[in-house]
Structure 1
Amino acid sequence: MKKITLLATSILGIVTLGSTIAQAADVNVDTEGVVNFSNVTEAKPVKPDDDSGTVIEPGDKPGGGSDTSDMNLKLLYVPNFVFADNGNTSIKYDFMKGNKLEAIVQTTKEAGEFPNFAQVYHSKEVANWLLAAKASDFKLVGGTKILDGAKIVLDDADAVKNVGSSTVATATIENSLITLESNEKVNIGKYVGTTNESAINSFNFNKVKLDITSGLAIGENETYKSNITWTLSGDATAVVTDTEEE
Structure 2
Amino acid sequence: MTKAPASSDPAGEPPHYLGHRERLRERFNKGGADALADYELLELILFRAMPRRDVKPLAKALIGRFGSFAEAIAARPERLREIDGLGDAAVVELKIVEAAAKRLAKSAIEKRPTMSSFAAVVDYCRATMAFLDHEEFRILFLDKKNVLIADEVQGVGTVDHAPVYPREIMRRALELSASAIILVHNHPSGDPQPSTDDIHLTHQIIAVGKPLKVAVHDHLIIGKHGHASLKGLRLI
With normalisation by structure 2, the TM-score equals 0.25
With normalisation by structure 1, the TM-score equals 0.24
Q: Give 1 or 2: higher helix fraction.
A: 2
Q: Give 1 or 2: higher strand fraction.
A: 1
With CA pairs under 8 Å and 6+ residues apart, which has the higher RCO, 1 or 2?
Answer: 1
